[in-house]
Structure formats: C-alpha cells, structure tokens
Amino acid sequence: MPSAARALPAATRPPCAGLWDTPMVQVNGDVTVCCLDEHLENKIGNVNVTPLADLWTGEVIERWRRAHVEGRFADSGPYCTRCNWRSAGGLSPERVAAWRAGVSRA
Ligand code: SF4
C-alpha cells in the first residue's frame, strides 16, 4: 500500500492517469479509481445504482481530476492523496489539455 512517506511533492508529481483510465469495479458493483484502492477509500458509487459511464464522468471524480491537474493532491481523493501514482503512470500534458478543453465546453 502506498504511504504518505513515499508520496512525491506536488511540484514533481503529475496528474495520475488512473483517474482517467482505470475504473475498478468490485464484485458487488462498488466502483473506485484504480486497483490499488482495495479498501475503497476512493469509492465513487456502485454500478447497481448508477451506470459506470455516469460514475466515471460524475462530479466527484471530476473534482478529483481537477485537483490532480492543479497539483492539489490533498484534495484529490483520500487514497490518491498519499499514493505514489507510479502504478498507473502520469497523465501526459496533451491529455491534460484535452481534458481541460472538454471540461471548459461542458
Ligand atoms: S494516484 Fe494512486 S490511488 Fe489515485 S488513481 Fe492514481 S494510482 Fe490510483
């Protein structure tokens, strides 16, 4: 499990691609942001209640994405806050720009 001691300073940490690329659906339908979150600290809902597409574009995860993009990792979801992000990798500047463009059109 990632620890706070391993988390990088915001200035050297990119947004994590996991928040865009790796929805994780548990056997009971609970959804979290990536496979590291085995205790569902970053749970965003349940597919038996809300379609996955709606959860993955919902207010909570979009708020956490914005926090990642702005380097505000303390606001980026309880588990992301102390994660080292390296398993999912960083989101490229091109993808950040595309996400920002999509958000600004919404
Ligand atoms: S920062 Fe860590 S916990 Fe958050 S989505 Fe990325 S890999 Fe998962």
pLDDT tens per residue, range 50-105: 999 999 999 999 999 999 999 999 999 999 998 988 878 999 999 999 999 987 65
**Cα–Cα distances in angstroms (integers) from residue 104 to residues 53, 66, 72, 101, in the given order:** 19, 12, 19, 5
Q: Is the CB–ligand 1 distance for residue 19 below 6 Å?
A: yes
Determine how many CB atoms are found less than 10 A away from the CB of residue 7.
16
Could you tell me if the CB of 88 is within 6 A of ligand 1?
Answer: yes
> Is the pLDDT reported for residue 6 higher than 90?
no
Q: What is the pLDDT of residue 1?
A: 46
Ligand 1: atom nearest CA of 19 is 5
- Report pLDDT for 87: 79
Residues 6+ apart with CB under 8 A from 44: 31, 32, 33, 55, 56, 58, 60, 61
- CA of 36 from ligand 1 middle (Å) equals 7
pLDDT tens track for 7-50: 656 667 899 999 999 999 999 999 999 999 999 999 999 999 99
Atom number of ligand 1 nearest to Cα 37: 3
